[in-house]
Amino acid sequence: MTHSEENYIKAIFHLANTGIEVISTNALAEKMETKPSSVTDMMRRLSKKGLVHYKKYQGVSLTTLGTKTALSIIRKHRLWEVFLVEKLGFTWDEVHEIAEQLEHIKSEKLIDKLDELLDFPKFDPHGDPIPGKNGEFMEHDNQLLSQLPIGSVALCVGVKDSSAVFLRFLDKNSIALGNKMKIIEKEEFDNSLRILLNERELQISQQIASNLYVKKIEL
Amino acid sequence: MTHSEENYIKAIFHLANTGIEVISTNALAEKMETKPSSVTDMMRRLSKKGLVHYKKYQGVSLTTLGTKTALSIIRKHRLWEVFLVEKLGFTWDEVHEIAEQLEHIKSEKLIDKLDELLDFPKFDPHGDPIPGKNGEFMEHDNQLLSQLPIGSVALCVGVKDSSAVFLRFLDKNSIALGNKMKIIEKEEFDNSLRILLNERELQISQQIASNLYVKKIEL
DNA sequence: TAAAAAATTTAGACAAATCTAAAAATTTGT
DNA sequence: ACAAATTTTTAGATTTGTCTAAATTTTTTA
Ligand SMILES: [Mn+2]
Ligand SMILES: [Mn+2]
Ligand SMILES: [Mn+2]
Ligand SMILES: [Mn+2]
């Protein structure tokens, strides 16, 4: 498999996990930042290799083999991200781009040894679950901060948007994974939240709240 | 730069360091396991990018920029090899192929952090020197075991051939870098050597002796 | 339900990296 | 010195991955 093919497979997997079952040529083109005609070409290639189901004008979806492949690439991506943060001291907003390259390194043994070195982590630095060696994938059933009712207490467990801009915004406001937060008030006008975090009150926009995954703590 | 361009640059560097100044199209084709016509094409591309001096029928050599580029790739290759052995527990015969992939990862910061994690090693697992961050390259002036006179005592410091077959042969015979060896006898018939290594006498063929770098110990 | 709009595919082109076969230049040997 | 051998380049083709522009199919809408 080429890097390009792997990137398409990964993109299809991610789109499929946003709810959509059948992915349109245009949606995939947008995700891949390329042209629909290029997508059509690539879908034919991937289809011939048995990685996707594709019939023209009907959209595309991953085959069992395609899903297995996607999970293996995502596993590598996320393990490398953990390595970069835990062993090399990178910050969580720096690792994605480098992992985009490292995820294409081909060596089963390498990734197993890396997993071991990192002590078999279950989540990457952004709170995303790391697929297992045999393709086990734990979809996290987390809620978004924006979905919690007033008075809730919750642990921050992940980010939905893991762009560097958003991550640096969180750093600036001392919001990190593992933090406990309590929702004090919801502003009707703009759906912003007033939360208590680290003994400190914080005003958070709807935009932010709907990009933070939390796990509710029952009191 | 593409992976392919980087691999050509590295190959030219390695050929240049076997003594030859001007590298022929055929020599490079053989090293790259490709056809001379492909080499001609690539030399034109690299020449246009200012990485090599190339005039047709005149052979090729690296420019200053080309040399700098080669050293940077070799630095990455060798640091990754150290990582694989020291941190992931790979054996020295397994690391070259994986490093061939990892050497193409683009991130200055990554390689600096890796260097730090490894405690700034000066040699890779095969005894080859690791170029510095600013292109400092220490050519090792080691002798080959086959060149030493009888009675010499020397430290084994590197391998000339670092193919997996040769490395596994050394493992099988418990010959490792850092070992002290004394030359007891030289067989006139086939130039094989009888050496003392780890309290053990060992018969070594000329083939083997001429692929082991040693550093003489003055008594 | 037919025209308009949107989505998708096809056709044709291009750059990178490779190949084979043929032509041209250089080197070697007598 | 010149023919033969060798090396190197050129010409033309192929694959991958991309693009633009045009054609086709599907969906929407009036
Ligand atoms: Mn990532
Ligand atoms: Mn990628
Ligand atoms: Mn190597
Ligand atoms: Mn390489």
Q: How far is the CA of A38 from the C1' of D18 (A)?
A: 7
Question: Is A188 part of a structural domain of the chain?
Answer: yes
Residue B183 belongs to a domain with what CATH number?
2.30.30.90
What pLDDT, on the 0 to 100 scale, is given for residue B19? 86
What pLDDT, on the 0 to 100 scale, is given for residue B219? 75
Question: Is A27 part of a structural domain of the chain?
Answer: yes
CB contact under 8 A, B110 and A117: no
Check pLDDT > 90 for residue B196: yes
Which nucleotides along chain D are within 7 A of a protein C-beta?
A: 7-12, 16-22, 25-26
The amino acid sitting at B123 is: F
Check pLDDT > 80 for residue A219: no
Question: Is A149 part of a structural domain of the chain?
Answer: yes
Single residue among A62, A81, A104 that ends a domain in this structure: A62
Could you give the percent of chain A with pLDDT greater than 90?
A: 94
8 A C-beta contact, residue A84 and residue A93: no
Q: What is the pLDDT of residues B62-79, one digit of tens each?
A: 999 999 999 999 999 999
Residue B51 belongs to a domain with what CATH number?
1.10.10.10
Check pLDDT > 90 for residue A19: no
**Residue in A98, A107, A113 nearest the CB of B110:** A98
Overall average pLDDT of the B187-216 stretch:
95
Single residue among A11, A31, A62 that ends a domain in this structure: A62
CB contact under 8 A, A84 and B114: no
Q: Chain A contacts of B102, Cβ < 8 Å?
A: 105
What pLDDT, on the 0 to 100 scale, is given for residue B218? 84
Question: Is B203 part of a structural domain of the chain?
Answer: yes
Domain count, chain B: 2
User: In whole angstroms, what separates CA A167 from the centre of its chain?
Assistant: 13
Check pLDDT > 90 for residue A196: yes
Question: Is B210 part of a structural domain of the chain?
Answer: yes
Check pLDDT > 80 for residue B14: yes
**A 111-150: CB under 8 A from B:** 113-114, 117
Single residue among B41, B62, B83 that ends a domain in this structure: B62
Question: Is A43 part of a structural domain of the chain?
Answer: yes
Question: Is A107 part of a structural domain of the chain?
Answer: no
**Residue in A84, A102, A113 nearest the CB of B88:** A113
Residues 6+ positions from A166 with CB-CB distance below 8 Å: A159, A211
The rounded distance, in Å, linking the Cα atoms of B198 and B175 is 9
Q: How far is the CA of B40 from the C1' of C18 (A)?
A: 12
**From B87, which residue of chain A is nearest by alpha-carbon distance?**
A117
Cα separation values, B217 from A40, A45, B143, B151, Å: 67, 61, 12, 11
Residues 6+ positions from B82 with CB-CB distance below 8 Å: B118, B121, B124, B125, B130
The rounded distance, in Å, linking the Cα atoms of B79 and B114 is 7
Overall average pLDDT of the B80-103 stretch:
98
What pLDDT, on the 0 to 100 scale, is given for residue A9? 98
Could you give the percent of chain B with pLDDT greater than 70?
A: 100
A5 touches strand D (CB under 7 A): yes
B191 touches strand D (CB under 7 A): no
Q: By three-state DSSP, how is residue A24 classified?
A: coil
Range of the domain at B179: 143-217
Rg (CA), chain A: 19
What pLDDT, on the 0 to 100 scale, is given for residue A139? 82
Question: Is B120 part of a structural domain of the chain?
Answer: no
Identify, with chain letter, the residue nearest to nucleotide C11 (CA–C1').
Answer: A37
Q: What is the pLDDT of residues A26-76, one digit of tens each?
A: 999 999 999 999 999 999 999 999 999 999 999 999 999 999 999 999 999
The rounded distance, in Å, linking the Cα atoms of B113 and B170 is 32
Mean pLDDT of all residues in chain A? Answer: 96
Q: What is the pLDDT of residues B20-56, one digit of tens each?
A: 889 999 999 999 999 999 999 999 999 999 999 999 9
**How many whole angstroms from B96 Cα to the centroid of ligand 4?**
10
Instruction: Give B122 to chain A, closest Cα distance, Å.
Output: 19
Check pLDDT > 90 for residue B139: no
Report which of A70, A218, A65 is spatially closest to residue A155, judged by C-alpha positions: A218
The rounded distance, in Å, linking the Cα atoms of B10 and B5 is 9
Q: Which residue has the tokens 């080859």?
A: B128
